[in-house]
Amino acid sequence: MEAQFTKSLDRYLGIVEEELLKKEACNNLMLGILERLQREQGNCYLGWVEKDGRLLLPFLRTPPHNWVLPDLKGDLNKEVVQCMVEQIRNGGWEVPGVIGPESYATKFAEEWGKLTNCTASIHMRELIYQLNEVKRYPQQPGELMVAKEQDLSLLIDWLQQFGKQAGEDISLQRAEQIARRFITEQSAFFWRVNDQLVSKVNRSRTTRNGATINAVFTPDRFKGNGYVTNAVAVLSQQLLNKGYQFCSLYTDVSNPISNYICQKIGYYKVGSAMVYAFQCS
């Protein structure tokens, strides 16, 4: 058994893509990152564990973000995780955190703690949802509008507010970078009612057959009116109309409202993810 890395994206895709596609919605993060790397060059670590030429576990990281583990069929052998974390440590690479299915991420955290002086804390528990058909359409007047250049300042502000609600501190500079990218890619949308923007949603990464929705946000003063439900429902339908076979999104396990809303629209649970953060002395 050995862990390997490659700088060749084409080689990596040839090794891991078909395995990841077996649970495409659950692996939308890894697949989406790989899809983006095909379009944009970026710093990344592309690794996998194999035995006798058989793929056991792919993993990757795009600094400064966390290591990402896939959702594979079946349980993950502890020896496979040990092989992976030993290679990461021997390579001297940073490990700010890890995201993956709970059992996988937990084993990573345990093994990394044994090898280093780092301690792990749970940053977030998430559920992964998939939608194949929109079951609830807007019940009130309103329309989905793509974010434009004149919406930049509002988008920046809402991104920072969204970060606070999600437990992520998004700096002004980072929020501006994200907002400008969203506007350039025409991926961010506002829900508008009576010429007032009341909610926000974003079309994030894509995979071979699906598209992910994220950064869903409604300011406190507009909550409770169904605006976010309408925005997510309409964007989901638009993505299906464009030819995607499904949509996916993540929710915080501890947020019953967001979980209720997405299920009402037609999303159903297909997986889960645990995010661990590491603190090193």
Q: Answer yes or no: do 185 and 116 share one domain.
A: no
Q: Answer yes or no: do 70 and 29 share one domain.
A: yes
pLDDT at 243: 97
Number of domains in the chain: 2
pLDDT at 264: 93
Which CATH number fits the domain that encloses residue 187?
3.40.630.30
pTM listed for this prediction: 0.92
pLDDT at 133: 96
Q: Answer yes or no: do 115 and 154 share one domain.
A: no
pLDDT at 167: 77
What letter would DSSP give residue 214? E
271 in a structural domain: no
| Strand order through the sheet with 118-131 | 2-6, 45-51, 54-61, 67-68, 97-100, 268-280, 118-131, 246-252, 210-217, 196-206, 188-193, 143-146
pLDDT at 183: 95
Q: Answer yes or no: do 59 and 75 share one domain.
A: yes
Q: Answer yes or no: do 196 and 227 share one domain.
A: yes
pLDDT at 10: 95
pLDDT at 17: 96
Q: Answer yes or no: do 114 and 140 share one domain.
A: no
pLDDT at 139: 73
Q: How far apart are CA 83 and CA 208, in angstroms?
A: 30
Crossing angle between the packed helical segments 152-165 and 172-185, to the nearest 10 degrees: 120
170 in a structural domain: yes
Q: Answer yes or no: do 71 and 159 share one domain.
A: no
Q: Answer yes or no: do 39 and 95 share one domain.
A: yes
11 in a structural domain: yes
Q: Sign of the CA dihedral 118, 106, 64, 92?
A: positive
pLDDT at 110: 94
Q: Answer yes or no: do 96 and 160 share one domain.
A: no
Q: Answer yes or no: do 56 and 140 share one domain.
A: no
Q: Along the chain (281 residues), what's the average pLDDT of each consecutive run of 10 residues? A: 94 96 96 92 92 94 95 86 94 94 94 91 95 87 94 95 85 93 95 95 94 94 91 96 97 91 95 94 71
Which CATH number fits the domain that encloses residue 122?
3.40.630
* Short-list 181, 243, 248, CA closest to 211: 248
Q: Answer yes or no: do 118 and 185 share one domain.
A: no
270 in a structural domain: no
Q: Answer yes or no: do 161 and 84 share one domain.
A: no
Which residue segment(s) compose the domain that 259 sits in? 134-265
